[in-house]
């Protein structure tokens, strides 16, 4: 792997039809590792920061275009999620005692998907990275995009699920479908269920 004269890129796979370098855009929000789901929870956003440290340590960042994701707006997130659910996420605080118990049940926040300090900014960063990655692909600004803070595919239209609050995968697909008529169909099977 080497940087080309036209910027950071990766070589084509061996035996590929062409020899052009692939432009890779890597999205990373520096504060993503500061979010904390709580004591004993298996979801650990600081692992994203650890992966980023490895990218830097091994010099891989020289082969990539580093991009900081924009925070996805409520309107961006509402392209898939219900307005009521997005409003709940935007207003949720790290103090679960002030939350309406009916809303907690309705939106499935609790043990698997706890309300924590900075919940909505965390969701905005994750979704913003995936939407931004799709925009780069749509514009032809990159051939490959990476968002380690994304892939939170368990979230449903109106509720959290499986450690996921906002389904950034669906949001990215909706963005890609603005320019690509090919239907993107992805199946993720974990815990015996999938959403799409």
Give the number of other Cβ atoms within 10 Å of residue 162's Cβ: 18
Give the number of other Cβ atoms within 10 Å of residue 190's Cβ: 9
Active-site residue numbers?
154
Element (H, E) at 145: strand 144-147
Residue 72: alpha-carbon gap to chain centroid: 10
C-alpha closest to that of 116 among 23, 47, 38, 178: 38
User: Measured between alpha carbons, how far is 180 from 174 in angstroms, rounded to an integer?
Assistant: 10
C-alpha closest to that of 65 among 120, 151, 137: 137
Return the bridge partners of 144, or none.
Answer: 24
DSSP assigned state of 7: B
User: Measured between alpha carbons, how far is 155 from 171 in angstroms, rounded to an integer?
Assistant: 11
User: Measured between alpha carbons, how far is 71 from 131 in angstroms, rounded to an integer?
Assistant: 10
């Amino acid at each position: 792997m080497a940087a080309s004269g036209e910027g950071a890129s990766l070589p084509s796979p061996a035996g590929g039809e062409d020899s052009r370098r692939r432009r890779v855009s890597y999205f990373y929000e520096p504060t993503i590792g500061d979010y904390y789901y709580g004591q004993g929870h298996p979801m650990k956003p600081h692992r994203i920061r650890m992966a980023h440290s490895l990218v830097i340590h091994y010099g891989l960042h020289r082969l990539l275009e580093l991009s900081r994701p924009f925070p996805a707006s409520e309107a961006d997130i509402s392209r898939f999620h219900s307005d009521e659910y997005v409003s709940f996420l935007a207003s949720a605080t790290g103090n679960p005692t002030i939350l309406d118990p009916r809303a907690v049940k309705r939106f499935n926040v609790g043990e698997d998907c706890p309300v924590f300090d900075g919940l909505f900014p965390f969701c905005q960063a994750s979704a913003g990275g995936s939407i931004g990655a799709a925009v780069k692909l749509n514009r032809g600004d990159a051939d490959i995009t990476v968002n380690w803070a994304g892939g939170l595919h368990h979230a449903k239209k109106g509720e959290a699920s499986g450690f996921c609050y906002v389904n950034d995968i669906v949001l990215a697909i909706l963005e890609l479908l603005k320019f690509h008529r090919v239907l993107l169909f992805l199946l993720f099977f974990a815990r015996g269920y999938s959403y799409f």
